[in-house]
Structure 1
Amino acid sequence: MRNLVAHKLRLALTAFAVVLGVAFVAGTLVFTDTMSRQFDQLFSKTGKGVAVQVRPKKVVDGGDGQNGAEAPTLPASLAATVAKVPGVGRVHGSVNGFAAVVGKNGKVVGGSGAPQLGTDWDPDNRDFPMKAGRGPTGPGEVAIDAKAAAKAGLKVGDQTRVIIQGPPQTVTVVGIVDSGNLMGATVTAFDQRTAQRLLLKPGRFSDITVTAQGGVSETALRDRIQRVLPSPDYEAITGTKMRDENKSEVGRILSFIRTFLLVFAVISIFVGAFIIFNTFSMLVAQRSRELALLRAVGASRRQVTRAVLGEAIGVGFVGSTIGLAAGVGLALLLRQLFNAIGAEFGGGLTFTYKPVLWSYAVGMVVTVVAAYFPARRAAKIPPVAAMRDDVAMPQRSLRIRVLVGSLVTVAGAVLAGLGLGGSGLALLGVGLGLVFLGVAMLAPVIARPVVKVIGSVYPRVFRTPGRLARQNALRNPRRTAATASALMIGLALVSGINVMSASAKASISRQVDKSFAADYFVSATARAFSPAEPAQAVRSVPGVELVTALYAGRFAAGKKAESFLATDRPEDLKRAARLSLVSGSAELGDDGLLVDEPTATSDHLQVGSTIPARFPDGKTASVRVAGVYAKNPLLGSRVLALPAYLAHTDRPTGNGLMIKTAKADAATKKGIERALSAFPDLQVQDQSDVKKSVQKSVDQFVTLLTVLLALSIIIAGLGIINTLALSVIERTREIGLLRAIGTSRRQTRRMIRLESVLIALFGAVLGIGIGVVFGVGVQRAVSDQGVNVLSVPVSTLVGYVVLAAVIGVLAALWPAWRASRMDVLRAIAFE
């Protein structure tokens, strides 16, 4: 307690390394608990009163994606059958699909963010109470949720358009409903007949919900209804199971978000552990005479160890407490971020015991573990050392360190390789952690030659301050290595991610050049569209020579669900997508299928082979392999005849339009855009736009990862500040003597800054080197999945070296100022 109180600044700097990691843990748990609570409230509200749900069984995984048209449906006549079952109360056939409102500015509300839900208006449904107007009663009328209306600038009586999976519909807003907190989703309700016609098919329902009469249990009613269902492809489930499944699906999403964010929290804590270890190592070394005196007057080894660990507990407690408070602020920031991208959260944060428990557990355990080995070394100081003027801390031989570090590094590399080979991300994470730990153990051996090379220009450029700075960094390679290792981890991960992103973008560019022969590609910003009408509109544009409509679907072949494209003009793919047939023909007829070479090899297919394909509507049809083509990233692994696809879907889903023109210029592009003006969710892109669009997504993801990893780099900067501050205290007498023989304050500050920059550059060189190796390894491991071009962003990596130097300069500002302001006489007399 005395040491903690006597060195408040040291306590604050060390605790701050704990604060950031703990804040990430606490913020993630608070945020995901908040999301979970709000989804629970949403599902308990929307499913309230439902005793049984009748639904079609899922046939193809992924076939019931965002729009209900791809999912199997129920005949409307089934509702009457269910209504006759004893114990049934109210029966309602639901219609669900895709519908997006166009605002007064001509833009689709919601874009590619939260779901855009189309449904039927149920006057008896209390989930969406009417706020203004009335419910829709006929074609051309809709009710929309209040938040969508506000974003679109619409009110009751306004006319607008609604985008569906088909031609856009001109409608009148007749009602505004209160949808509650749907996390940014939009709701557009039609009368039931119109909803069936536009979203599914006349006479079809997505599902049927049933309430129970008094005294009838959910399970009893479910069993009665199941017995009257006319097809084994239909099933009845209890309302409780329906709500649990909804929660479970959301739970998987929340689990991914939680794991994703906690990974970065672990990285920050891992980096913080290096800072804590280094700080306590220096503190113990500086107090070695004091500790020896304690041993001389009777303190046992255990008592000395406990005293040092007690300081660590104090640091951990302070850091965990502040980190917990900062985590609440981080949760608020995350909520604002999700609100900005359309996933709106209302209400306050949910605060449970879990963030508190984990914050203190993580913060205090990591701090104590990191301080344990310095505490053990402190206990080994012999009592007789108190009689000496200088006390040297016991140091282990670097030979043992090299041997253990080499073994740990090799083991980590093997585990990381297995993880990259498909054995799991957890194995990859453990492998990376061991590699970083192993390299950190080897760093003191690497430090001497690397620091000598990096600092070789110091004496010539900076004269005496440069020479002293290099000698200070070389004086204690263990300390230099431990300080640089924290920065190494952050920069290694950032560099590896940048190598992967540069390789991905280069691969995308090559794939577009190789397989995209069309001049323009038309796609939807919303989640579903029917390409038939847009294709017809574009074909009338002067200068357009070829328009190929692409559809997307899935079927089950055996136990696997497979994705495919379908097209109305398969022969045109040779010109539009550079389709290169290896065998067979592109004439698909009504049941033909093209497969690429890798698929033909893995599935043992050849021209003439037949495949029993089970479609989302529950029906099975045989498709014939008409041809085999060279691998084409744009087309994927399968191209199905359009008639075979249309026979099994009520509302086909568009993937895009590929357009060839006589002259690809601005006038032609404007002509295409004018032809598509009735479809506000469609965008026209040329080849460069397609590249930029995909590469922009990669850049956004890399930016997100870099921002999350920035915390570890900030912690590393704090570690350099801590090390330099303690180093200045340790060298007080030395600095006083330098000042006494004529070293100016400016030279003293420069010496400290140059030493800081040298440590930071060593960490950068080590980290970037490891990052490049990992990036290349990951690229090679996934080269068969499309990332087949290796690209090392040299300019970006050079920028990180410069950034490391800047971090070194900033980290040295306060320690350098403090060193230059020392009283010379007091410094000389310092012991």
Structure 2
Amino acid sequence: MLKVTVRNLVAHKIRLALTAFAVVLGVAFVAGTLVFTDTMGRQFDRLFSRTGKGVAVQVRPKKVVESEEGAAAPTLPASLVAVVGRVPGVARAHGEVSGFAAIVGRDGKVVGGSGPPQLGVDWDPADRNFPIKAGRGPSGPGEVAIDRQTAGKAGLGVGDRARVVIQGPTQLVTVVGIVDSGSLMGATLTAFDQGTAQRLLLRPGRFSDITVAARPGVSETVLRDRIRRVLPSPDYEAITGAKLREENKSQVATIMSFIRTALLIFAVISVFVGAFIIFNTFSMLVAQRSRELALLRAVGSSRRQVTRAVLGEAIGVGLVGSTAGLGAGVGLAVLLRALFNALGADLGGGLAFTYRPVLWSYAVGMVVTVVAAYLPARRAARIPPVAAMRDDVAMPQRSLRIRMTAGSLVTAAGAVLCGLGLGGSGAALLGVGVALVFLGVAMLAPVLARPVVRALGAAYPRVFRTPGRLATQNALRNPRRTAATASALMIGLALVTGINVMSASAKASITRQVDRSFAADYMVTAAGRVFSPAEPAKAVQAAAGVEQVTALYAGRFVAGGKTRSFVATERPADLRRAARLSLVSGSAELGADGLLVDRPTAASEGLRVGSAVGVRFPDGGSASVRVAGIYARNPLVGSRVLALPAYLAHTDHPTGAALMVNVAKAGTATKQGVERALSAYPGLKVQDQSDVKRSVQQGVDQFVLLLTALLALSIVIAALGIINTLALSVIERTREIGLLRAIGTSRRQTRRMIRLESVLIAAFGAVLGIALGVVAGIAFQRALRGQGLNVLSVPVTTLAGYLVLSAVIGVLAALWPAWRASRIDVLRAIAVE
């Protein structure tokens, strides 16, 4: 039987190659994802082993609030360095400073920005982690050293003058050194002398943490315990260097786990779609070779041997597809690394190869192929030996009633779970329900094929005459085959459509929110991470035509055991004009300790005017604030507005959220005047209402484009499935096509018939997929109304475009099968048994 299996693989090279290609694409996604994330993991391991080298113990303040980069954080007094340095076993104790600092390049743009952090640190001459490659380390005010990658992006060298953006006023500095940072994964590094770093990034006499080197023979654990005993406050902690490195790796592992999971989801979708093609191909191959298989049974082969022979072919396809997919996955990993490098996250070095991509590539490729081919193999084994004596052999087919019953039950169960999810049981339950509905409709597809295809092809006979009529009949002849072929396209288009409905709803919701809450003429925000709004606000206020500037600060505190976000402003009453803040009760006069909350927050936390709320700030300080007023929900402002004095009392470097600018007469000249006023503050951008809408909508569009590009792989696989089905169908109908040619059908009519059949199959899958995607998109929009997605928008034009695109896919998929059908030799075709 092994010889029979090999002979069949060789005899059907083209058909099985197309099937293997579906395996290749799915496996490539799996392998590429694992190779890429392994590469990221190796690079981070190198980075952390380098930066944490020589640290036996770290002393740091206990984190109070999970804050964003640049936000206020607790610090350590400089006097603690001497205390720690006197502990027995300590070789060296060094106070470290870290904060936000970003270099401005020669083009006037801030290097870095959204994504990797922009680090400002103190320069430690004894630290060998970042060796000097050119120049020297900074030794006084106005001097900095920057990393090599940042210097290249900024176009700066030793001796050049540059500007550094911090949370305070922009600093004019001289680059005195270039350091080798290895690879900071796109992060930027700006080093100051220690005194300057404290003054600019923290405050004089304070450190972010203290790193400790141990004397020879002193273990990290012993030294940590000794240092803990001398710490003057329970708000300080000492951890071993091993734990510090493990924490850093854990944070990165979380990021990589998210990236890996997101990419593998698309890989699973591609593999799932590919399984439809594999099942369809082997079903058709078994049907075409039914007499051959019956002869094998007649000459003594058992059912088990016939099953093994067909599964052996599947193993061969899976082996070839997995091997090619592994190679393609390496290429995909190279593309992903190039993409991350282009975005500023330089991975450096080559790819990392481990056993995992190889293991999972073959596991996925082989298992999916064999499982998808199992039912056709079992069906082949049920062919009776006596069938070898008949001219035609019909494969045993189960009634569609069983399929209709099972599909209806699965669809109904999914609908119930969707209802529960919409009723408040959670988005996860809704997701499971939608997945079951997708599966149920895929099971019902053979039942739906007859009425839907008949309706789609109703105009064919009138428009295309005989070829149109024959194309419709061919698509209806085997509804199982038509459904299996169309289901692959259905899944891909359903996901793409659902994403498009969600994105259209998100953009419509954003537009409504901006219209309702953006009352200022302009909004000033930071293109990078953080900025201090005090000085820019003064500059804008002095610009011609500016009537009011409302500075919004961003912060977090802990209240009720949870981290809460807030904005702070000097004159909350100005928000009524700048952000259409509508007060429901109480007063907007906050004094030194007042707090405004929106109505949903007040209801959920049981707050009312006059309530006292105990809060703790990131610097470790505590306060009691009073609820002065309650306002209607406002997406621009958020859920809390704190009195500015209460915020400033707990930070030395206030973080800006935005400047809201009202002018006497909005226009191009006024906007340019505001931009000129901010020329000394790189990274700040001025936007009017339309700019804000466009910026957010572009972000949504870019995200949707990325998801659609990833899902496009499943649509490519679906197109391969149509090619495969039509190619096998042409072989199956060789004699029929020969007879049509013999009675006068032209080659052109033959090609048209195949193309029209392909378009029907593609249109059937598109109609089901778009309908499912619209339903899924609406369901998720309804479930997320409480999170700001409160406007439903169905992009009808885009969906119509997808329907047209599906027809084009059908035409393209039919080119090769139609050409083969038209080139069939008439006499040989008629003689085929």
1:402 — aligned with what? 404
CA contact (8 A) 2:497 2:770 kept: yes
1:411 CA displacement: 2.8
In the TM superposition, what whole-angstrom CA distance separates every residue of 1:645-667 from its partner, at most 9, and x where no partner exists?
11111211100100011111001
| 2:318 corresponds to 1:313 | no
2:493 — aligned with what? 491
In 1: Cα distance, 2:423 partner to 2:679 partner: 48
In 2: Cα distance, 1:681 partner to 1:416 partner: 45
1:96 — aligned with what? 98
In the TM superposition, what whole-angstrom CA distance separates every residue of 1:8-66 from its partner, at most 9, and x where no partner exists?
111110001110010000000000000000000000000001000000111112x2x22
| 2:49 corresponds to 1:47 | no
Indicate which of 263, 266, 275 corresponds to 2:265: 263
Match of 1:9, SS? helix
2:24 — aligned with what? 19
> For structure 1, which segment, 412-421 or 154-163, has the greater mean C-alpha deviation from structure 2 after superposition?
412-421
1:369 CA displacement: 0.7
In 2: Cα distance, 1:390 partner to 1:586 partner: 87
In 1: Cα distance, 2:369 partner to 2:150 partner: 49
1:8 — aligned with what? 13
1:299 CA displacement: 1.6
1:71 CA displacement: 1.7
Equivalences for residues 62-81 of structure 1 within 5 A: 63=67, 65-67=68-70, 69-81=71-83
Indicate which of 207, 227, 230 corresponds to 2:229: 227
In 2: Cα distance, 1:551 partner to 1:53 partner: 32
1:433 CA displacement: 3.8
1:694 — aligned with what? 696
Match of 1:456, SS? coil
Letter of the aligned partner of 1:707 in structure 2?
A: A
1:427 CA displacement: 5.5
Indicate which of 755, 772, 775 corresponds to 2:774: 772
In 2: Cα distance, 1:366 partner to 1:299 partner: 26
1:627 — aligned with what? 629
1:109 — aligned with what? 111
Letter of the aligned partner of 1:66 in structure 2?
A: E
| 2:142 corresponds to 1:140 | yes
So what's the TM-score if we normalise by structure 1?
Answer: 0.98
Letter of the aligned partner of 1:570 in structure 2?
A: P
In 1: Cα distance, 2:749 partner to 2:685 partner: 61
In 2: Cα distance, 1:326 partner to 1:717 partner: 19
| 2:58 corresponds to 1:56 | no
CA contact (8 A) 2:427 2:783 kept: no
1:325 — aligned with what? 327
1:558 CA displacement: 2.0
Indicate which of 163, 179, 182 corresponds to 1:180: 182
In 1: Cα distance, 2:754 partner to 2:351 partner: 45
In the TM superposition, what whole-angstrom CA distance separates every residue of 1:600-620 from its partner, at most 9, and x where no partner exists?
000000000011001111111
Letter of the aligned partner of 2:33 in structure 1?
A: T
In 1: Cα distance, 2:493 partner to 2:127 partner: 55
2:3 — aligned with what? none
Indicate which of 151, 160, 163 corresponds to 1:161: 163
In 2: Cα distance, 1:680 partner to 1:551 partner: 18
Match of 2:436, SS? helix
CA contact (8 A) 2:276 2:484 kept: yes
Indicate which of 376, 382, 396 corresponds to 1:380: 382
In the TM superposition, what whole-angstrom CA distance separates every residue of 1:292-347 from its partner, at most 9, and x where no partner exists?
12222222111111111111111111100000000000000000000111101111
In the TM superposition, what whole-angstrom CA distance separates every residue of 1:154-191 from its partner, at most 9, and x where no partner exists?
11111110000111000011111111111111110000
Letter of the aligned partner of 2:169 in structure 1?
A: P
1:792 — aligned with what? 794
1:30 — aligned with what? 35
Letter of the aligned partner of 1:657 in structure 2?
A: L
In 1: Cα distance, 2:412 partner to 2:279 partner: 23
CA contact (8 A) 2:90 2:223 kept: yes
1:424 CA displacement: 7.1
In 1: Cα distance, 2:427 partner to 2:146 partner: 43
Letter of the aligned partner of 1:798 in structure 2?
A: A
1:824 CA displacement: 0.5
Letter of the aligned partner of 2:9 in structure 1?
A: L
In 2: Cα distance, 1:594 partner to 1:728 partner: 72
1:568 CA displacement: 1.4
In the TM superposition, what whole-angstrom CA distance separates every residue of 1:561-607 from its partner, at most 9, and x where no partner exists?
11011111111000000000110011011111111111000000000
2:276 — aligned with what? 274
Change in Cα spacing, 1:817 to 1:688, as seen in structure 2 (3 Å) is same
In 2: Cα distance, 1:425 partner to 1:540 partner: 49
In 2: Cα distance, 1:210 partner to 1:446 partner: 71
1:755 — aligned with what? 757
Equivalences for residues 346-365 of structure 1 within 5 A: 346-365=348-367
Letter of the aligned partner of 2:573 in structure 1?
A: E
Equivalences for residues 513-662 of structure 1 within 5 A: 513-662=515-664
In 2: Cα distance, 1:673 partner to 1:316 partner: 61
* Identity, % of aligned positions: 81
In 1: Cα distance, 2:134 partner to 2:296 partner: 80
Match of 1:235, SS? strand
Letter of the aligned partner of 2:687 in structure 1?
A: Q
Change in Cα spacing, 1:618 to 1:123, as seen in structure 2 (3 Å) is same
Letter of the aligned partner of 1:576 in structure 2?
A: A
Match of 2:565, SS? strand
Indicate which of 714, 720, 730 corresponds to 2:732: 730
In 1: Cα distance, 2:99 partner to 2:422 partner: 39
In 2: Cα distance, 1:427 partner to 1:312 partner: 36
In the TM superposition, what whole-angstrom CA distance separates every residue of 1:498-540 from its partner, at most 9, and x where no partner exists?
0000000000000000010000000001101000000000001
2:450 — aligned with what? 448
Letter of the aligned partner of 1:55 in structure 2?
A: R
1:390 CA displacement: 1.4
Alignment gaps of 5+ in structure 2: 1-5
1:420 CA displacement: 6.8
Change in Cα spacing, 1:560 to 1:263, as seen in structure 2 (3 Å) is same
In 1: Cα distance, 2:415 partner to 2:298 partner: 46
Match of 1:70, SS? coil
> For structure 1, which segment, 454-463 or 669-678, has the greater mean C-alpha deviation from structure 2 after superposition?
454-463
1:413 CA displacement: 3.8
In 2: Cα distance, 1:448 partner to 1:412 partner: 24
1:288 CA displacement: 1.1
Change in Cα spacing, 1:615 to 1:143, as seen in structure 2 (3 Å) is same
CA contact (8 A) 2:434 2:776 kept: no
In 2: Cα distance, 1:407 partner to 1:20 partner: 32
> For structure 1, which segment, 108-117 or 638-647, has the greater mean C-alpha deviation from structure 2 after superposition?
108-117
1:421 CA displacement: 7.0
1:377 CA displacement: 1.1
Letter of the aligned partner of 2:46 in structure 1?
A: Q
Aligned residues: 828
> For structure 1, which segment, 421-430 or 431-440, has the greater mean C-alpha deviation from structure 2 after superposition?
421-430
In the TM superposition, what whole-angstrom CA distance separates every residue of 1:705-758 from its partner, at most 9, and x where no partner exists?
000000000000000000000000000000000000111111100100010001
1:434 CA displacement: 3.0
CA contact (8 A) 2:120 2:191 kept: yes
Letter of the aligned partner of 2:391 in structure 1?
A: D
Letter of the aligned partner of 1:131 in structure 2?
A: K
> For structure 1, which segment, 513-522 or 299-308, has the greater mean C-alpha deviation from structure 2 after superposition?
299-308
1:202 CA displacement: 0.9
In 1: Cα distance, 2:69 partner to 2:15 partner: 54
In 2: Cα distance, 1:301 partner to 1:427 partner: 43
In 1: Cα distance, 2:339 partner to 2:214 partner: 42
In 1: Cα distance, 2:54 partner to 2:754 partner: 71
Indicate which of 84, 87, 90 corresponds to 2:89: 87
In the TM superposition, what whole-angstrom CA distance separates every residue of 1:604-648 from its partner, at most 9, and x where no partner exists?
000000110011111110010000000111111111111111111
| 2:832 corresponds to 1:830 | yes
> For structure 1, which segment, 539-548 or 494-503, has the greater mean C-alpha deviation from structure 2 after superposition?
539-548
